Amino acid sequence: MDELIARVSAAIGVEADVARTAVGHVLSFLRKELPDGPVAEFLDQVAGSREAADAVEGGESSGGSLLGGLLGGGLMGLATKLNGLGLDMGQIQKLGHEVFGYAETVLGKEKVQQIANSVPGLSQFL
């Protein structure tokens, strides 16, 4: 996980703690959308990945603001959370590229493509 955090931090120009939180949000999103299959395999194989996802989930409120409730789901909800960390759309795209590039080294291209094909709009971040 440290290697992924370092890659993300360098690619999007943020401190490691922001990169860890951003990656945690991505992993949490993927775990919610696709709890089985390649995502679970990735979480099993990358030490610290479940903890990163758990950490951001523990900080989420169940009620939230009206805006958070309206935008809380899907890729839009993920983008809203990442914007809240101070990331712009360019950084979010680089984040996705780094996470999925790393996932490809762990899972292989076919399984990463399977993940991307399972969530509408996700393939733009590969």
Q: 63: which DSSP letter?
A: S
**Could you state, in order of their start, the residue ranges of all structural domains in the chain?**
2-121
Residue 61 has pLDDT above 80, yes or no: no
62-88 pLDDT tens trace: 444 444 444 457 888 999 999 999 999
CA torsion sign for 47, 123, 88, 77 is negative
Show Cβ contacts of residue 3 under 8 Å, excluding neighbours closer than 6 positions: 102
* Cα radius of gyration rounded to whole Å, the chain: 13
The torsion of the CA quartet 39, 4, 29, 40, rounded to 10 degrees, works out to 20
Give the tens place of pLDDT for each residue, 3-13: 999 999 999 99
Q: What is the pLDDT of residue 64?
A: 42
pLDDT over 50 at 16, yes or no: yes
pLDDT of residue 109: 95
CATH top-level class of 2-121: mainly alpha
Work out the pLDDT band at 60, boundaries 50, 70, 90: low
